[in-house]
Amino acid sequence: MKLSFGFGDGFQEVDLPEKNLLATLTANEMEHERTGEDAVRYALAHPIGKGLLRDEVRAGEKIAIITSDISRPLPSCEVIPSVLDELTAAGIPDEDITVVFALGSHRRQTEAEMRHLAGDEVYERVRCVDSDPDDCIHLGRTTAGTPLDITRVVAEADRRICLGNIEFHYFAGYSGGVKAIMPGVSTPAAIQANHSMMVSPDACAGKLEGNPVRADLEEAGAKIGIDYIVNAVLDEHKHIVYAVAGDVVEAHRVGCAYLDKMYRVGIPERADIVIVSQGGAPKDANLYQTQKALDNAKHAVRKGGTIIVIGSCREGLGSARFEEWLVNAPTAHSMIERIGKDFQLGGHKAAAIAMVLENASIDLVSDMDPDFVRSIFLNPQPSAQTALDEAFAKYGGDATVIAMPYGGATLPVAAD
């Protein structure tokens, strides 16, 4: 049987006996009652843990709406207008509203990018700015010592409304909720302090309770003060299929439960071979982005197995620090030791790859130079079919296979 995986603007195909295929992991079949802006409006009309947004704010208050930057998939232009309708109904004038794009550790955006995210009407109507890590207010520290340094326009607002999308996050459990504030509008030092806890075995995708990264984030959110969230769940094509609004924890948990129904996929057992793709462009533009699919795939492969990662990576590694860690590491394991002593953003994804290599081999089908791929501890392959043929030669004709064509979205859950 033939299977197809997105690769840049095209595809990679593999042909394998049906008897070897344990599962092809895609979103669970679900009927969504509402999509797009209809889902957002419904969520705002049925808030969780809070009253209607229009009843939670007061005329005269300064409002900060914190939303995702250009690197995130949230279609902010489908969410912000309904939020503005609620604020208008409460008597909040447009001049008291600022949309803040949460850059986290990412680059500043162009005006065209901000306009694209907000939509022309919103961009012309209210002030839209990037968060600024160089202009922050210190609001204390968490129990774990994470500094609460928040960009001034957000820290000084009377009300903070956080937007975002909920998806699995490989060490915070899930995205969304408080993450718009921390790390979204914080400083590199604060982000590093929180993310350094990623080395804990409890810091993993799909885990909230007992996750030290999530606990620290939500303590930060409680101390800073988040008045409302509007979070969306997206399908594999990045369209809104569900939304929640209200309390930063209660509403977020309902959204996480819906995501689980869609993307937490049971598997009968871990496989000898896992074939995984981000789904093609733009999600596989570099290895920094493609790593997300790899990290989900680790939950589907048996110890000693092989993960075949299909990603164009035509832009290379995608992060200078990520590259520095990978290129200069004497061994893959040394990156795990390094991250425990010297957490650095960018380096954390290099260490995450090293953690996968502790249990499985990684073949990479990409547009990068094969010698360079070998230098960063991965096995280059010219095609997915060649990689699969070699894996069958290694494990035998009865080797089991799990396919993950949208690996960044689906989280495998094995019985073990």
Q: Look at residue 73 in the predicted model and tell me its pLDDT.
A: 83
In the chain, what are the domains?
A: 2-28+264-414 (3.90.226.30), 36-234 (3.40.50.11440)
Amino acid at position 103, single letter: L
Residue 416: band (very low, low, confident or very high) from pLDDT cuts 50, 70, 90 = low
Nearest to 242 by CA among 39, 64, 409: 39
List, in order, residues 6 or more apart from 377 with CB less than 8 Å away.
Answer: 326, 329, 331, 332, 353, 354, 357, 362
Q: What is the mean pLDDT of the chain?
A: 94
Q: Are 414 and 22 in contact, with CB atoms under 8 Å apart?
A: no
Q: Specify which residues 151 forms β-bridges with.
A: 136
Using the predicted structure, report yes or no on whether residue 21 has a pLDDT greater than 80. yes
Place of tokens 């009843």: 55
Structure token pair of residue 329: 């590491």
Q: What is the mean pLDDT of residues 104-131?
A: 92
Residue 14: band (very low, low, confident or very high) from pLDDT cuts 50, 70, 90 = very high
List, in order, residues 6 or more apart from 65 with CB less than 8 Å away.
Answer: 80, 83, 97, 98, 99, 100, 161, 163
Q: Look at residue 109 in the predicted model and tell me its pLDDT.
A: 86
Place of tokens 């969504």: 32
HSE-up of residue 133 (Cα within 13 Å, Cβ side): 17
Secondary structure letter of residue 103 according to DSSP: -
Q: Are 272 and 399 in contact, with CB atoms under 8 Å apart?
A: yes
Using the predicted structure, report yes or no on whether residue 340 has a pLDDT greater than 80. no
Using the predicted structure, report yes or no on whether residue 105 has a pLDDT greater than 80. no
Q: What is the mean pLDDT of residues 200-212?
A: 93
**In the sheet where 271-277 sits, what is the strand order?**
21-24, 401-404, 271-277, 301-310, 361-365, 379-381
Using the predicted structure, report yes or no on whether residue 66 has a pLDDT greater than 80. yes
